[in-house]
Structure 1
Amino acid sequence: MNRTALLVIDAQNDMLAEGNAVYNARSVLDHMKQLLADARKSGTSIYYIQHNEPPESGPLVRGTQPWQIHSELTPENDDALIHKTMPNAFDGTDLHEHLQQLGIQQLVLAGMQSEYCVEATCRGAVELGYTVTLVKDAHSTWDSGGNTASAIIDRCNKELGSIAAVKTTEEISFGNL
């Protein structure tokens, strides 16, 4: 039984919109597509995490075009969709219950925004007892607070490396995790 799941966090149109996309968006999209294909081939469970905001808070309003999962990463019939309102995908959702029902013990994380939802979900997963692998070339963000996106991503990879495995897409083998 496969006890690993892939979490694709906030891979929504707004994060990948041409002209305002996260850093290195094309490469990150390609890596997420490869992870999805490999996960499907191995029978690994896939969970899409989708952020929801109230209209006055931002563009990720349920049902709108910016809120939708990017068309290159469209969920398939067996994929699960978890809606969240907090950075940590476990806060206020039934994600943990879904994973427990399937006996999932290990999570592979990819998605947006490195220093918010990816980091919070990684920390939340570890606190719940999951073994976590962060795919270091399959998450991204924007420049923020005087820091470049590249520096933020590097910081997240380094800091989260103290609690999770940090690997490239090429190093991920869902059949051997």
Structure 2
Amino acid sequence: MTAQAFDAARTALLFVDPYNDFLSDGGKLWPRLAEVATAVDLHAHLRAITAGVRAAKIPVFIVPHHRAEPDDFHGWDHPTPYQLGAAKLQVFAKDSWGGDWHPDFAPQPGDTVVKEHWSGNGFANTDLDFLLKQHRVSHVILIGLIANTCIESTARFAADLGYHVTLVRDATAAFSAEAMHAAHDINAPAFAHQVLTTTELLAALPAAA
């Protein structure tokens, strides 16, 4: 695919859930992601993209999932099975190593850390839309985890809000190759403006400022 060139003044990178529990050996969910992540060379592509967008002076927004605490969903009317499963495992537990940033992808000076999202959508009940609008962003690039849950939910909502949405098929992962295929080849064409590889994305970024 020939990617649309990006305007640094109107574009933001949304890096979803760069936690140890997802991305580090020993993380609670890494064993379920490892096969797909290794197949797409996830870590190398995340490093290349974050370096490339920062060199181009494109702002980076960290879009983090809620850090688990005991009894998070006590008294809730209808937490989802996904939420209850994460709560049982205490995924991204507050004040734990698993709930800390992967050291290669921790926020850097000038990055924006968005309020934590409780479910899959990085916009719902957070300040992400407000912050993007304050930075005059119209185009968003999504990387991180997981392709068919938080990435897809956030990207769908971004499109609904009127943003131009770019997904990067080898800068994310899922629990199975089937889930990756569904996310990028079945579902994404209904809402994403483009689905690129890391190589295609980097070629479309502005020259380093």
Asked if Structure 1 and Structure 2 have the same fold, meaning a TM-score greater than 0.5 normalized by the shorter chain, the answer is yes
State which structure, 1 or 2, has the greater radius of gyration over its C-alpha atoms.
2
1:70-126: CA deviation from partner (whole Å, max 9, x where unpaired): 111121110111122221000010010000011100000011111110110011100
Match of 2:191 in 1: 163
Gapped regions of structure 2 (runs ≥ 5): 1-7, 72-86
Match of 2:132 in 1: 99
Match of 2:51 in 1: 37
Name the structure where strand makes up a greater proportion of residues.
Answer: 1
Give the whole-Å Cα distance in 2 for the aligned partners of 1:80 and 1:155.
Answer: 30
1:69 alignment partner, one of 101, 114, 127:
101
1:8-64: CA deviation from partner (whole Å, max 9, x where unpaired): 111210012326521333511111111100100000010111111333512212322
The residue matched to 2:110 in structure 1 has which SS? coil
The residue matched to 2:190 in structure 1 has which SS? coil
How many residue pairs get aligned? The number is 170
The residue matched to 1:24 in structure 2 has which SS? helix
TM-score between both structures, scaled by the size of structure 2? 0.77
Equivalent positions of 1:94-173 (< 5 A) are 94-142=127-175, 149-158=176-185, 159-164=187-192, 165-172=194-201, 173=204
TM-score between both structures, scaled by the size of structure 1? 0.90
Gapped regions of structure 1 (runs ≥ 5): 143-148
Give the whole-Å Cα distance in 2 for the aligned partners of 1:140 and 1:41.
Answer: 25
Give the whole-Å Cα distance in 1 for the aligned partners of 2:21 and 2:97.
Answer: 8
156-165 or 115-124: bigger deviation: 156-165
User: 1:135 is matched by which residue type in structure 2?
Assistant: V
Q: Is contact 1:51–1:67 with CA below 8 Å preserved after alignment?
A: no
Among the aligned pairs, what percent are the same residue? 28
> Which aligned runs of 4 or more in structure 1 are off by greater than 4 angstroms?
none
Give the whole-Å Cα distance in 2 for the aligned partners of 1:139 and 1:161.
Answer: 17
Match of 2:91 in 1: 59
The residue matched to 1:111 in structure 2 has which SS? strand
Are 1:11 and 2:42 matched, yes or no? no
